[in-house]
Amino acid sequence: MKVLSIDWDFLVDASADYRCMNFPDCCNENYSEFIQNTIWSTRYLYGSLREVAVDKDALIEVKNYIGRTCSLHTRGVAYDSHKHIYDEVKSSLSPEEPLVVINFDFHHDCYQNGDSVDCGNWVDYLYKDRTTPSGNRLKHSTGSSYTWVSRDDSDDAGIPRYVRRLTVNQVSSLPEVDNFDLLYVCKSPMWSPPHLDREYDDFITWINKYITDVNDLGSKPRNINLYTG
């Protein structure tokens, strides 16, 4: 199975240091909508958060790659959280089938923690039966691979050895996949500033218009006026 995953936080044009200083800390996607709104609202009171934009160059690279590797035969889904990719993949993946995932994401999502699947460990859960007992290497017989396309300053702490990491400037080095089976897009609301939601919606509209229909299964619109006035 071939999966292309796009986390919207990858396309936010902000350094790791800036995110650390200005984005919500102690992020938890399980917070209620009210709490998430309150946290973000306080972040807009001070500083330059409203000036954060979408990385136009990275967006062009992502669109070009989608255009070359996806088609009407690609199933598209969109959620708020990245954790749902686990069920979307497992429901269509046979035990012996190779799993190839290319993930555009500010985070590597390979953390080996938690008693259930979440947005930070879904990769580890997906590849558990395809790795050696240490969890660091893939079994060669599976034919599986995981490629993480990161920002230049994304944190790679805790990354397993089997991960192939590329940065936003190395998209041309990605394999030219002959039609992905699944295109998964997520907004990651606790890691993506709400004032960029309109451009996220435009991105989904572009995919629907030119590539394939995206079934939006959980991406909730946020009231931008709560943050920007």
Cβ atoms of 120 and 111 closer than 8 Å: yes
> Residue type at 86?
Y
In 3D space, the residue among 39, 2, 3 whose CA is nearest the CA of residue 192 turns out to be: 39
Tokens 């889904």 belong to which residue? Answer: 77
Spatial separation of the C-alpha atoms in residues 68 and 65, rounded to whole Å: 5
Residue 216's beta-bridge partner residues? 78
> Average pLDDT for residues 117-143, to the nearest whole number?
82
Tokens 């309150």 belong to which residue? Answer: 38
pLDDT at 134: 72
CA distances from 95 to 21, 84, 90, 91, 144 (A): 43, 19, 9, 11, 12
Spatial separation of the C-alpha atoms in residues 181 and 65, rounded to whole Å: 14
Query: Which pTM was predicted?
Result: 0.92
> Average pLDDT for residues 121-132, to the nearest whole number?
87
Tens-digit pLDDT profile for residues 36-58: 888 888 888 887 899 999 999 99
pLDDT band with cut points at 50, 70 and 90 for residue 131: confident
What is the residue-averaged pLDDT of the chain? 89
